[in-house]
Amino acid sequence: MSNPFEDNDGEYLALVNDEGQYSLWPAYIDVPTGWSIAHEKAARQVCLDYIEAQWTDLRPRSVMRAAEQATTTDSPAEAPVA
């Protein structure tokens, strides 16, 4: 059996989860729990191009939020104006 994720002639979906992570997914396989369709059924390369354009920061959303919070809490407080 060939790998369904590497069929250049197959139809695929681009999926995304709550963490903003993307996945190429064969269109004939049910979408797994926790994932939603970000790009409807299309050729493999179309879906890969979509994922590449959308997923510019590979960190999960929770990690990005934590980093942003750390940055705002680590910055020195402004001195009061007298």
C-alpha 49/C-alpha 12 separation (Å) is 12
The reported pLDDT for the residue numbered 60 is 86
The reported pLDDT for the residue numbered 24 is 98
pTM for this model (two decimals): 0.77
* Contact status, residue 55 vs residue 22, Cβ threshold 8 Å: yes
Structural domain boundaries, residue 53: 4-62
Q: For residue 72, tell me if it sits in a domain.
A: no
- Compute CA distances 61 → 32, 49, 64, whole Å: 19, 21, 5
Q: For residue 43, tell me if it sits in a domain.
A: yes
For the chain, the domain total comes to 1
Per-residue pLDDT 10s for the chain (82 aa) are: 589 999 999 999 999 999 999 999 999 999 999 999 999 999 999 999 999 999 998 888 888 888 888 887 765 656 566 5
Q: What is the CATH number of the domain that holds 46?
A: 3.90.820.10
Q: For residue 70, tell me if it sits in a domain.
A: no
3-state secondary structure of 64: helix
Q: For residue 19, tell me if it sits in a domain.
A: yes
The reported pLDDT for the residue numbered 2 is 83
Picking from 13, 9, 30, the residue whose alpha carbon sits closest to that of residue 22 is 13
Picking from 23, 19, 24, the residue whose alpha carbon sits closest to that of residue 64 is 19
